[in-house]
């Protein structure tokens, strides 16, 4: 029937989990294609709040097969804790499959992540400290341990680790003056985890390929977001994987020709965690207000997120590099009560107007002054319980239309609160299930750069 990719448009934490859960209710296969436990997806169903770091949010649909694909890096301990917690809550994980090609985050990755950050001092990235970067480094260096190795049994795993551990211990002892890790101690920790995970390990590329061939409804669940992409993001303040829509192909073995729709989840404002320039950041009480109203504290690390007005320049960039065919606008309720709301439509640097997001050379962002359009706000507590898009205050509707105008693609869903029922479908947009049969646009939309500026 069709394949839909959901990605974040800015620096993550756009509430992708909520939209994936919504669309995932009608999916037959849900696939997470990259990243690891650095992600934190929150889904609220009834009186239960589910927080996922590794398991795809689609697990809440008992009819869906959930794949953790090749592009992911997996911490076995965190994954098993998540599986146990889901089972304790009565959520079945029988449909969960983990790619044999996914890489395993090991204790030395976590130690190195923290040590490397400390050594960088003022140049630290502000990583989540979950070992994600060092694990991807080993993958690229061909020193990685994959789920395949974990599933092969202790003898095989010992051999693999015997070959890799000296490199890691060299780094720990010689670079950082830390203690070396002992092979047998490591194996004693890993053996019971490997035993429990073995039944989940599979060739997910084959499962996904069959699903494509059978025309199933497939949902690709992005983690992190466009500006954190290792290639397309604000390097070096990025993660180590490919959160952009192209990553859905690289990370799963599904070809680009199989993808029909790409939805970008965009917050009504913009947030960022960790270091790096953030042109629309609000360092005043307005930013504080957004942070408190939006509960902008990390699901994974608890860190306070930096908050600012919506960066439309970055949004247009996200439309272009992901080939977005629609957006899901989140957290609209958080902006209630502001007299006026600002949206950044360009950057001024040294008297020159920048139209395009300078992803390649992010130093260009330093000293950029955002150029804002100003829109009227809507009253406090006016929207959380609205049942139809048309019943939103006209100013809130106009704000969504402004986001559409900047993006050059339609808003498919608008979120006015964390619950499933706090989601509106603008007139003319299809119901979630129908997204899978929309097909592919003949011509990809172009973001409205020249029209806005």
Catalytic residue list:
13, 41
125 binds ligand IMP (CB under 6 A): yes
Sign of the C-alpha dihedral computed for residues 54, 57, 58 and 59 taken in this order: positive
Q: Annotate each residue in 186-225 with x if it binds ligand IMP (CB under 6 A) or - if it does not, as one string.
A: -------------------------------------xx-
- The stretch near ligand IMP (CB under 6 A) out of 38-46, 158-166, 369-377, 414-422 is 38-46
Judged by CB under 6 A, the residue of 1, 22, 30, 38 near ligand IMP is 38
- The stretch near ligand IMP (CB under 6 A) out of 234-242, 248-256, 347-355, 395-403 is 234-242
- The stretch near ligand IMP (CB under 6 A) out of 37-45, 55-63, 280-288, 400-408 is 37-45
29 neighbors 208 (Cβ within 8 angstroms): yes
- The stretch near ligand IMP (CB under 6 A) out of 5-13, 137-145, 191-199, 407-415 is 5-13
234 binds ligand IMP (CB under 6 A): no
* Residue of closest CB approach to ligand IMP: 274
Angle at which helices 76-88 and 183-197 pack, to 10 degrees?
Answer: 40
Among candidate residues 448, 435, 442, 451, the one with its CA nearest the CA of residue 409: 448
Containing H/E element for 249? helix 246-250
Judged by CB under 6 A, the residue of 239, 252, 270, 415 near ligand IMP is 239
DSSP string computed for 6-25: EEESSSS-S-HHHHHHHHHT
Q: Annotate each residue in 265-304 with x if it binds ligand IMP (CB under 6 A) or - if it does not, as one string.
A: --------xx------------------------------
43 neighbors 79 (Cβ within 8 angstroms): no
224 vs 252, beta carbon nearer ligand IMP: 224
55 vs 449, beta carbon nearer ligand IMP: 55
- ∠ Cα 42 242 232 (to 5°): 115
307 binds ligand IMP (CB under 6 A): no
CA 19 to chain CA centroid, Å, is 12
Instruction: Count the residues of the shown chain that bind ligand IMP, applying the rule CB under 6 A.
Output: 21
How many Å apart are CA 277 and CA 259, to the nearest integer? 33
128 binds ligand IMP (CB under 6 A): yes
Judged by CB under 6 A, the residue of 2, 4, 7, 12 near ligand IMP is 12
226 vs 422, beta carbon nearer ligand IMP: 226
Length of the chain: 453
Which residues, 6+ apart, have CB-to-CB distance to 329 below 8 Å? 266, 267, 268, 400, 403, 411, 413, 414, 415
54 neighbors 17 (Cβ within 8 angstroms): no
Closest CB 167 distance from ligand IMP, rounded Å: 20
How many Å apart are CA 206 and CA 351, to the nearest integer? 54
If one counts every other C-beta atom within 10 angstroms of the C-beta of residue 441, the result is 14
How many Å apart are CA 52 and CA 255, to the nearest integer? 27
Closest CB 45 distance from ligand IMP, rounded Å: 21
If one counts every other C-beta atom within 10 angstroms of the C-beta of residue 403, the result is 20
Residues that bind ligand IMP (CB under 6 A): 11-13, 38-40, 125-128, 130, 132-133, 223-224, 228, 237, 239-240, 273-274
């Amino acid at each position: 029937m069709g394949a839909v990719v959901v990605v974040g448009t800015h620096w993550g934490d756009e509430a992708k989990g909520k939209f994936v859960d919504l669309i995932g209710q009608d999916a037959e296969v849900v696939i997470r294609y990259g990243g690891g436990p650095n992600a934190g997806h929150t889904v609220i169903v009834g009186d239960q709040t589910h927080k996922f770091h590794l398991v795809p949010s689609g697990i809440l649909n008992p009819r869906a097969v959930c794949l953790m694909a090749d592009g992911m890096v997996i911490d076995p301990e965190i994954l098993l804790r998540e599986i146990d917690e889901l089972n304790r809550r009565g959520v079945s994980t029988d449909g969960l499959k983990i790619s044999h090609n996914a890489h395993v985050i090991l204790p030395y990755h976590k130690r190195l992540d923290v040590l490397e950050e400390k050594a960088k001092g003022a140049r630290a990235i502000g990583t989540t400290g979950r070992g994600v970067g060092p694990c991807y480094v080993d993958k690229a260096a061909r020193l990685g341990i994959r789920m395949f190795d974990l599933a092969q049994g202790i003898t095989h795993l010992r051999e693999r680790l015997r070959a890799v551990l000296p490199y890691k211990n060299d780094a720990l002892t010689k670079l950082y003056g830390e203690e070396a890790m002992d092979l047998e101690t490591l194996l004693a920790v890993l053996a019971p985890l490997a035993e429990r995970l073995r039944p989940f390990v599979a060739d997910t590329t084959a499962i996904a390929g069959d699903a494509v061939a059978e025309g199933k409804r497939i949902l690709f669940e992005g983690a992190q977001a466009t500006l954190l992409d290792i290639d397309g993001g604000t390097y070096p303040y990025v993660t180590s994987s490919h959160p952009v829509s192209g990553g859905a192909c690289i990370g799963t073995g599904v070809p680009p020709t199989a993808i029909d729709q790409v939805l970008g989840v965009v917050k009504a404002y913009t947030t960022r965690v960790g270091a790096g320039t953030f042109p629309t950041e609000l360092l005043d009480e307005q930013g504080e207000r957004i942070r408190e109203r939006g509960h902008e504290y990390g699901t994974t690390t608890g860190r306070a997120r930096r908050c600012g007005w919506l960066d439309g320049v970055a949004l247009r960039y996200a439309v272009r590099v992901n080939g977005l065919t629609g957006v899901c606008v989140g957290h609209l309720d958080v902006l209630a009560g502001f007299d006026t709301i600002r949206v950044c439509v360009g950057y001024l640097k040294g008297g020159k107007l920048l139209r395009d997001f300078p992803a390649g050379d992010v130093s260009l962002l330093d000293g950029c002054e955002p150029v804002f359009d100003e829109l009227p706000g809507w009253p406090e507590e006016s929207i959380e319980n609205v049942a139809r898009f048309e019943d939103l205050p006209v100013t809130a509707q106009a704000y969504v239309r402004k986001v559409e105008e900047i993006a050059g693609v339609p808003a498919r869903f608008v979120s006015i609160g964390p619950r499933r029922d706090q989601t509106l479908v603008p007139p003319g947009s299809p119901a979630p299930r129908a997204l899978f049969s929309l097909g592919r646009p003949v011509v990809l939309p172009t973001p409205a750069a020249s029209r806005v500026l």
